[in-house]
Structure 1
Amino acid sequence: MDRTLAPSALSPTRLPRPQLPYPTTLVEALLLRSSGPDAARPVFTALDAEGRRLERLNAVELLGRVRATAAALGAVGSAGDRVVVPALPGTDFAVAFLACLYAGRIAVPVPPPRPATRRRTTDGADRLGAIRRNCAPVASLVASAADAVGGEEGAGLAWIPVARAPGHPDLLPDPAALDPRAVALLQYTSGSTSRPRGVVVGQDNLMANQLAVRDRCDVDSGTTVVSWLPFFHDMGLCTGVVLPLVSGAAAVTMEPATFVRDPLVWLRAIEAEEDVFAAAPDFAYELCVRRIGSAVRRRVDLSTWRVAVNGSEPVRAGTLRAFADAFRPSFFRPEVFSPGYGLAECTLGVTLGRPLYEAPVRRYDRDALARGAAVPAVSPDTAVELVGCGPPLPGVRIEVVDPATRRALPDGAVGEIWVDAPGNGRGYWGRDAESARTFGARPTGPSGGGPYVRTGDLGCLDGGELFVTGRLKDVLVVHGENYFPQDVEAVAGAAHEAFAHQRAAAWPLEEEGPGVAVVVETAERDPEVLARAVRAAGLAVARALPAPVSVFAVARHQVPRTTSGKTRRRDCADDVRAGRLPLLAQWSSRPARSAGPSERSPSA
């Protein structure tokens, strides 16, 4: 379905409002906001677990706390040194992040600190250790002095509390804070296919990327951004902190745990505002459908939700339909959805659907996609639904490239997505060779241009829209043709009600010839039901893909994920092979062992 202008887009009820001048750095945006006519208007409002206001800062109050914290940072290290910024609660993260920039330090957003009893026993601890070894920070900001970490773990860092009150009103920003060429932050990738790497994001990259989102979505001083996204991820940082400052908008935020515990708190916060921009990954919309009952939906008014970005993970057409249908009684309109595509290497956004235009859903032939061509399907049995993730943001150029020949491909051909954009980062911190491969790509042939970021994602351009098909490293190669794991996972999940709306992971079986393994989470515990479920899923996948199939059922929350919720398929495969993943049921079309030491002949 092509994009058509929705009737609501013609409504004259929302008039353009004046926007802030184009600042060149985020600190400049803060200074403009604090000295302008909206200085006393709230910038950041933090909600508690029940959705009640926890604290609120206007631009003047925000600048005062930023200056006080920056003064403390000024006593440690020098401009360009790295400072760890954990995802602190309330408004503390915004203050801490901006204080780093104000002091000329390079911010390093990381997950929130964990209790001392858990620090050494989690994947998060390993990740934080890898980040510290990579960028050698000189300090870490904390909510209070009591949160400083002692002993060997805290050695080598100055632990600086975030200022609770304004201070140092005469403190000028470090020259780097007003220099677009200066480095603003290291954004560590979530590591779905590799160890975390620190993307070097300049002040100019950060501003260009979010100004493009501002302009695409008409975010202005009358808009409120409502977010629960983790601040240490690119989407949470840009949505909850950067976009409000560069656009003049206000932000209302809550902890991610609040949303997971009760998604209704997020929707109630949206309901309370007049013109709302809110973004979330696909699973969040699906969670709202599952967790919020029909009686409650009828008592929620989402008519002021103007932009609902769906990104950060594959956007599923079924999720868009389910949410729009479920919340139609709440006055949610399907054209409010703006699917998008982005990655940390490009700061965040690359493409984004135009607000109030219905997102296109195309049904492509599965076998043709495997051969690298996006051809409309003639039968529902062979169709793969893909959602258009919008056209490129202003200033962004996309090429779909054959990863082997580096030649640009025409519209409708599937290849690796390459991006040339002002938001492209400058490389990976301390990884020169890898930076050159990823950030310095240039296609061969007449298209030229660049340098481009090689995203590692596969997709195609069709009618100006980007359609993402999968990850290059996750592709399942069967008899010389490429199949995408999320399509296999979707087929397995739809095969039996025990697997409906559950996380899955698919990967190739390579030990004994071509084949595919699929792990699906489930809440079911009845052995007979599980036996039928894995058999149904195996047969469904076998019909869609010409290869031997093994299916495993596991308990919920067992499939490994990154800190941003992306499936870690390689780690899942390793866990099954090593017998580390407790299996509830299994089925295989192969009589021999194929995916792990615990796999047996078909059990149903």
Structure 2
Amino acid sequence: MTDTVVESLLDTTTHETLVSLVARGLASQPDRPVFTAVDAEGVVEATLTMADLDRKARLVAAALRTHGEAGDRVIVPLLGGVDFQVGFLGCLYAGMVAVPVPALEGKGSKGKGLARLTSIITDCAPVAVLVSDAQGAEAATADLPDVPWVSVEQPNGAGLEPEQVTPSTVAMLQYTSGSTADARGVVITHRNLVSNQSAMADAGRIGPQTTVVTWLPMFHDMGLCTGFVLPVVSGANTVLIQPWSFVRNPLVWLQQISRYDDVFSAAPNFAYEMCVTRIGADERAGLDLSGWRLAVNGSEPVSGATIRRFVETFSGVGFTLGTMRPGYGLAECTLAVAGGGSGEEAPMLGFRRDSLAQGVAVAEEGPDSVELVGNGRAFGGMHLLVVDRDTLRPLEDGRVGEIWVHSPSNGQGYWQRPEVSVELFEARPVGADPDGPTYVRTGDLGFLYEDNLFITGRTKDLVIIAGTNYYPQDLEAEATAAHPLFAHMRAGAWQSEVGGRTGVTVAIEAPDADEETLAKAARAAGIAVAKAVPAPVRVLVLPLFKLPKTTSGKIRRGECAARAEAGVLPVRATWAPA
């Protein structure tokens, strides 16, 4: 793709919808493969050309319209192969609103997954739920008896002519992962989706020559946008790996990347850490990552240590520091907000911890500094403000405040929550023109420094001791670095009462070890955190995978606190000051 084409992509898609873009691709290259699904061994399971995608989506749309009308909601679970892509487009062809959710757990499913799904269904009142085929429908929808199911595998027949949608037509409800609150459905239009991923394609120079390789779950905003919307907008081919295949063996992800010359792939920070810890030297030797042009690291706090470890581990097979680009985004803005271009090395800078606690970014390397990773600049068509969360006045560069975003990607609000939607999606800073642009209040704290956005934390997660702000991810990093047992482990820190005083609790996952080792590790972590924050510290050591997280891997600190208070965390060791 030439520079001229790249620079004009965002402008040329302004008036498009996903439906019109599929029609454009169908007219120009009907036989072009657009989605290819591979199994856990990398063997191709299914391939969809543009013509296949269009034909199958028309059949699904026709079946859906027997259950409802344009504007009605349809549950689209995570489906295998290329079924999600067909089902999602089928919803759009029918003029219906797609509601992506995790895979249905089947008959007798229990726990948070079912509770969350039930909550979503109650909130959006769907007229149907999509399943892969009729044979598995009964088991898949056993816990959803009041919602009709529709199979993605429809018999050949008369498909539905795609609905005449506009850029302002609602395409989907993106239910947030709920890291700080109950899940809410962000109302996303065709314009939001197309403009957001056009900006991503512009910044990353992603076009028909590019192959997108993804294992990200399609019910998550990063998975859906990079694994469906981005290919439709840019013309890129996409290789789909099931999320569980990656979790079982992250090597399958890098093996697929090794097959292509111009690759875009995105993942949360923890995925890059998994590759470092679980892919051995012999397996690395068979990789060739020289064609991986843009590796986006996002969806959770980005660790400079992880970036360095990944580059060091895979530099021998062609991966370079300039390939890794941290990015910042959120569901309320469709997905992407800020990031860097291909080949730009991400800044990893130290900032004085005490100055950050006072809301000022002072760059300084040393024992009293904390490393933060720059997330690049606002994408095309977007504008960032950093605002004082008490006075609502914009702050100058280098001052810490709440990040606000004005963008054509900003969602329309939360489904059926008008009051909170006005507050969070239609914000204006103090002194602004009442007829001027509105902003999404992200709830994230950060600052602008040397043309880069740095994230420091979330407003609801701040630890405030004696009027001074401390960021939980900094305390978590101190804890996990304090003992070899906690290396590369996950931790969650929150403000709590410790020994009758305001203090900090840190819960850390750890591998199996004897009681003495666990006790020593907990003590080391507690002492390290106590040096960073002038307050009593309690450490809870948990088994692996027992720290509550969102679907994208973010720590649910509020839920950690609630479970600890209720005494239901599976604690293996505890440390607290005498």
Task: Indicate the TM-score class for this superposition, using the shorter chain for normalisation.
Answer: over 0.9
Residue 175 of structure 1 aligns to a residue whose secondary structure is coil
Residue-by-residue CA offset, 1:529-588 (whole Å, 9 max, x unaligned): 111111111111111111111111111111111222211111111212221112211111
| Alignment RMSD (CA, Å) | 1.7
CA positional deviation for 1:16: 5.7
What corresponds to 1:159 in structure 2?
149
What corresponds to 1:243 in structure 2?
230
What corresponds to 2:393 in structure 1?
407
CA spacing shift, 1:253–1:164, aligned 2, 3 Å: farther
CA positional deviation for 1:168: 2.8
1:414 & 1:428 partners in 2: Cα distance?
A: 27
Aligned: 1:550 with 2:541: no
Q: TM-score, normalised by structure 2?
A: 0.96
* Contact 1:138–1:157 (Cα < 8 Å) also in 2: yes
1:18 & 1:41 partners in 2: Cα distance?
A: 20
2:519 & 2:129 partners in 1: Cα distance?
A: 51
* Contact 1:498–1:524 (Cα < 8 Å) also in 2: no
CA positional deviation for 1:275: 0.6
1:499-518 matches, cutoff 5 A: 499-510=486-497, 512-518=500-506
Residue-by-residue CA offset, 1:182-216 (whole Å, 9 max, x unaligned): 10000000001111100000111111101000111
What corresponds to 1:443 in structure 2?
429
Residue 509 of structure 1 aligns to a residue whose secondary structure is strand
Aligned: 1:47 with 2:47: no
Aligned: 1:385 with 2:360: no
What corresponds to 1:567 in structure 2?
555
What corresponds to 2:126 in structure 1?
137
What corresponds to 1:283 in structure 2?
270
1:505 & 1:164 partners in 2: Cα distance?
A: 46
CA spacing shift, 1:153–1:264, aligned 2, 3 Å: closer
Q: Which moved more, 1:140-149 or 1:53-62?
A: 140-149
1:72-471 matches, cutoff 5 A: 72-117=63-108, 119=109, 121-149=110-138, 153-163=143-153, 167-168=157-158, 171-176=160-165, 179-377=166-364, 380-445=366-431, 449-471=436-458
CA positional deviation for 1:447: 8.3
Which one-letter code corresponds to 2:574 in the other structure? Q
Residue 346 of structure 2 aligns to a residue whose secondary structure is coil
CA positional deviation for 1:146: 2.6
Structure 1: segments with no counterpart, 5+ residues = 1-13, 592-604
2:433 & 2:346 partners in 1: Cα distance?
A: 29
What corresponds to 1:588 in structure 2?
576
CA positional deviation for 1:18: 5.7
CA spacing shift, 1:88–1:362, aligned 2, 3 Å: same
Residue 376 of structure 2 aligns to a residue whose secondary structure is coil
CA positional deviation for 1:128: 0.5
CA positional deviation for 1:295: 2.5
Determine what percentage of the aligned residue pairs are the same residue. 50
CA positional deviation for 1:152: 8.1
Aligned: 1:32 with 2:24: yes
Residue-by-residue CA offset, 1:87-109 (whole Å, 9 max, x unaligned): 11000000000000011000000
* Contact 1:525–1:584 (Cα < 8 Å) also in 2: no
* Contact 1:64–1:168 (Cα < 8 Å) also in 2: no
1:149 & 1:190 partners in 2: Cα distance?
A: 27
Residue 414 of structure 2 aligns to a residue whose secondary structure is coil
2:559 & 2:541 partners in 1: Cα distance?
A: 16
Q: TM-score, normalised by structure 1?
A: 0.92
Residue 341 of structure 1 aligns to a residue whose secondary structure is strand
Q: Which moved more, 1:506-515 or 1:142-151?
A: 142-151
What corresponds to 2:522 in structure 1?
534
CA spacing shift, 1:343–1:462, aligned 2, 3 Å: same
Instruction: Give the number of aligned pairs.
Output: 570
CA spacing shift, 1:243–1:192, aligned 2, 3 Å: same
Residue 201 of structure 1 aligns to a residue whose secondary structure is strand
Residue 514 of structure 1 aligns to a residue whose secondary structure is strand
